[in-house]
Amino acid sequence: MLIEVLLKPKPFVKWAGGKKQLLKLIKERAPYSYRRYIEPFVGGGALLFELLPKRAIVNDINEELINAYLAIRDNLYELIDSLKQHNNSEEYYYYMRSLKPNELNRIERASRFIYLNKTCYNGLYRENSKGEFNVPFGKYKNPKIVDEQNLRAVSYYLDSEDITIICSDYKEVCHMATSGDFVYLDPPYYPLNRSSSFTKYTRHDFTEKDHTELAYIFRELDRKGCKVLLSNSNAEFIKNLYKGYIIEEVEAIRAINCKGSGRKKSKLEIIVRNYYT
């Protein structure tokens, strides 16, 4: 008899703004109990896969990313087969990059997305103004294009628990939250300086106006009786938006020049919440 041992799932893509460094601090501040977990900017899902809630709604505006979550849940074995067909040559990478996602079926589309994430420069996701993925080839020696064990663990988790996966604007999902839910908000970071910060995940940018609206929605969720936790950069503009809530400045290491050779640890991020436990 074949017994399959499932590992704890972890993010299946590398994602800019992924919470690797802050994860421990955020996890320590997550509420002890809640009804549903709601993550309107899920990205790679670092906190989702850490907490593994039994009831959750997760959302992202990035269609390729959400299509990949759905394909992993619903079409796991076809997806793994398709991922095994790829190779890590520069020529093949640019060929895959040139394909139009909306001309592919769900599995091919997810396979292309995961392949590009594993082989592109720095695992970035960036689109030009036409919505086309435009990150160059990463030149990695041996990228793990197919992490079969993890994909199986992710698929099992998404399928066996009550997890709703949505591709929409974050506001739609925040409106679904009700009293007792835990909402984790991890929007694109407000840039601390113009040159170094990456905030554009799709052709839609997240502007100052969006951050102001998000703070309004945070207050609305608070009034509804949700427990709300937000992470963002430690900028005066952001801190002013959340006056009256618990704001903690936390340390993070960031590259301080574009080559990433200078690294500096300082209180570059904040965690805001409206509850103690």
Ligand X SMILES: C[S@@+](CC[C@H](N)C(=O)[O-])C[C@H]1O[C@@H](n2cnc3c(N)ncnc32)[C@H](O)[C@@H]1O
Counting residues that bind ligand X (by CB under 6 A) gives 22
Q: Which residue has the tokens 């907490």?
A: 51
**Least Å from the CB of residue 2 to ligand X:** 33
37 binds ligand X (CB under 6 A): no
Are β-strands 182-185 and 37-39 bridged in parallel, bridged antiparallel, or unpaired? parallel
Say which residues have a Cβ less than 8 Å from residue 93's Cβ, sequence separation at least 6.
116, 119, 120, 137
Which of 53, 62, 135, 226 is in the footprint of ligand X by CB under 6 A? 62
Of the two residues 75 and 233, which places its CB atom closer to ligand X in the complex? Answer: 233
Which region among 59-67, 70-78, 112-120, 250-258 touches ligand X (by CB under 6 A)? 59-67
Q: What angle do CA 90, 94, 97 make, to 5 degrees?
A: 135
Q: How many Å separate Cα 243 from the centre of its chain?
A: 26
**Least Å from the CB of residue 113 to ligand X:** 13
Q: Report whether 52 contacts 182 (CB < 8 A).
A: no
Question: Which residues, numbered 213-272, are part of the site for ligand X (CB under 6 A)?
Answer: none
Of the two residues 82 and 133, which places its CB atom closer to ligand X in the complex? Answer: 133
Q: Report whether 231 contacts 271 (CB < 8 A).
A: yes
Considering all CA atoms of the chain, what is the largest pairwise distance in Å, rounded to the nearest integer?
Answer: 60
Structural element, H or E, at residue 231: strand 227-233
**Least Å from the CB of residue 163 to ligand X:** 15
**Least Å from the CB of residue 25 to ligand X:** 13
**Least Å from the CB of residue 248 to ligand X:** 17
Q: Report whether 181 contacts 34 (CB < 8 A).
A: yes
Number of residues in the chain: 277
Of the two residues 115 and 201, which places its CB atom closer to ligand X in the complex? Answer: 201
CA atoms within 13 A on the CB side of 40: 25
Q: Which residue has the tokens 């890590």?
A: 88
44 binds ligand X (CB under 6 A): yes
Cα gap 176→220, rounded to integer Å: 12
53 binds ligand X (CB under 6 A): no
Which of 15, 37, 113, 157 is in the footprint of ligand X by CB under 6 A? 15
Question: Which residues, numbered 155-214, are part of the site for ligand X (CB under 6 A)?
Answer: 169-170, 186-188, 201-202, 206
Phi-psi region for residue 17, left (φ > 0), alpha (ψ -120 to 50) or beta? Answer: left
Of the two residues 20 and 54, which places its CB atom closer to ligand X in the complex? Answer: 20
Residue 151 vs residues 93, 146, 166: alpha-carbon distances, Å: 22, 8, 19
Of the two residues 46 and 57, which places its CB atom closer to ligand X in the complex? Answer: 46
x/- letters, 75..114, toward ligand X (CB under 6 A) = ----------------------------------------
Which region among 55-63, 134-142, 145-153, 241-249 touches ligand X (by CB under 6 A)? 55-63
Binding site for ligand X (CB under 6 A): 15, 17-19, 40-41, 43-46, 59-62, 169-170, 186-188, 201-202, 206
